[in-house]
Amino acid sequence: MSELRPDKLRECGIDPERVPAHIAIIMDGNGRWASHRGLPRLEGHRRGYKTVDRVVRLAGEFGIKALTLYTFSAENWRRPRSEISGIMKLIASAAHQELRKLMDEGVQLRLSGRTDDLPDFVRQALLDDVRRTQDNTGLILNLAINYGGRGELVDAFRQIALRVQRGELSPDDIDERTIAASLYQPGLPDPDLLIRTAGEMRISNFLLWQIAYAELHVTHVLWPDFGEEDLLKAIADYQSRVRKFGGVVNSPGQDLASAAAPDLSPAPSIS
Ligand code: FPP
């Protein structure tokens, strides 16, 4: 298990008791990182993988409970064939190489996305890690692969429609909880903080349902360069915000996170 580093957090003015439970990251800028150096784009993805390694370790050390990484979007299939195949090989080899570390650090791997459509060698490698790490109790690492936010909602609505068709559910009983419970990872609470690297001010079809109340932190740092200081800055930025969930702040500095309307927080604890 990761050794917690509350002192490092305090040194940066961060309250270790109020770190975001779930951080989601749009890992952007691998291609730019490579082209700035005259390197092939795949080299950027290789360096991006090293950053994944670093950020997973740091998240454990800073007491983050869950990390969702946008690893391959449903739209990424539009990239050149050689880049797609390079990324797929990188993901599969990471799944083989990192298993020992995931076990040592107590990380539990989960997947979000249409994983059935991944090449066999990638799906098998990932599912093997998911199975082997399922009883780990440390950080939950949720990789969004072949993931699209609209596609996730389509898949959820299809499931719900089937339950209605079978007579298991009445349309009148469908509420926000029904939809949240039909997403790819229903046991995960919504992300508290969404980080996007490389400066674009877009959501890019990521976790459309789950980020309704997430705090956003966009940095110009390219993903391969994203390090400890950048993660600490994002967490400090998150703690500087007052979360109101559509309500009002009753007294100065009050954080209403715990006062969120129950309907807005369908999965309040990590499971
Ligand atoms: C976005 O940068 C990055 C991706 C689409 C791929 C992300 C993959 C990795 C970080 C490596 C593998 C990860 C794991 C978990 C093993 P971009 O190519 O869109 O960058 P650009 O906008 O600068 O072109």
Q: Which residues are near ligand 1 (CB < 6 Å)?
A: 27-32, 45, 48-49, 52, 69, 71, 76, 87, 90-91, 94, 143, 198
Structural domain that includes position 33: 6-12+20-148+189-239
Residue 250 domain flag: no
> Nearest 5 degrees, angle CA 159-CA 161-CA 164?
115
Domain count, the chain: 1
DSSP state at residue 9? H
Residue 134 buriedness (CB in 10 A; 0-12 / 13-18 / 19+): exposed
Per-residue tens of pLDDT for the chain, all 271 residues? 889 999 999 999 999 999 999 999 999 999 999 999 999 999 999 999 999 999 999 999 999 999 999 999 999 999 999 999 999 999 999 999 999 999 999 999 999 999 999 999 999 999 999 999 999 999 999 999 999 999 999 999 999 999 999 999 999 999 999 999 999 999 999 999 999 999 999 999 999 999 999 999 999 999 999 999 999 999 999 999 977 788 887 544 444 444 444 444 444 466 5
CATH number of residue 41's parent domain: 3.40.1180.10
237 is catalytic: no
Contact status, residue 23 vs residue 67, Cβ threshold 8 Å: yes
| Residue 119 within any structural domain of the chain | yes
Give the global pTM. 0.92
Query: Is 136 within the bounds of a domain?
Result: yes
Is 228 inside any structural domain? yes
Whether 271 is in a domain gets the answer no
Cα torsion for 48, 138, 233, 197, to the nearest 10°?
30
Q: Is residue 263 among the annotated active site residues?
A: no
